[in-house]
Structure 1
Amino acid sequence: MFLDRSNEAKSYLESVSKKRIDLQIKEDGKQLEELKRTKAMSYTLFNLKAYFKLSVLADKVGLDLWNYNGKNGGSIRKALDYFLPFVQDSTKWEYQQIESFKNDDVYPLLVIAKKKYDEKTYGDWIRKIFPDNIKISIQNFL
């Protein structure tokens, strides 16, 4: 992208990113490889953040990963939607999480999702998960 090779960047992002979504995100939004880990919530969030960063990069070359539905029905949006109830109440998480989970990094994802999907739902999640109206800068995320 910096070398004015947007078509190559787009082609690479499309093949690699879509392949990862196809392999890693199931139809219900679970990321099975992350759920096997000892810090499954943390890794699920880490992976979601990576997908959001890839999607922001893809936007710059005219590629829409936000709305891509994988071969198995998985998508970034489904992965986020699957995860949010557990962010709100981590006691319902059925997988291993050997250290406390910090949900601050979810806030920028919700702000971006609200804008990208133009959905009131994500604003509702912000109010549910962050009822004290926490202000977290998304500059570090982008």
Structure 2
Amino acid sequence: MASTLNPYLGFDNRAREAMEFYHDAFGGTLTMNTFGEYGAGDGPDKDKIMHAQLVTDAGFTLMASDVPEGMERDSGSSITVSISGDDADELRGYWDKLSDGGTVTMPLAKQMWGDEFGMLTDRFGTAWMVNIAGSAGGEDPGAAGGEDSGA
């Protein structure tokens, strides 16, 4: 099996709601299991999400869970989830859905490097960046070097 790297988000009793929101935004297949399904009995965590996974048709994987009783959630994270590509309609659709009820910190707009780029924090406190590749000459500022177009 190949290795993968994907975001794993932690929530205080809102993992189900958040993952349903992301499922609506991105589509795909969502699976969720509670602590109760894995033997938590009738304890305070029985209905909390122990593990949720969203796998989208676009190839994204997003995972999440609720923080169990007695553990603290670290809300001071410096992680931002970034989505980029060249399908402008698809990416604008994600932007519109993710920003619903959230806070736009930088509007999705044309940038000096030629791409459309914006930043937001969704209604669950997750930070997102969206970058839509511009026409010829636009480069992702986070890319390591450019690629020859081969033209």
Q: TM-score, normalised by structure 2?
A: 0.25
Identify the structure with the greater helix proportion. Answer: 1
Computing the radius of gyration from Cα coordinates, the structure with the larger value is 2
Greater share of residues in strand: 2
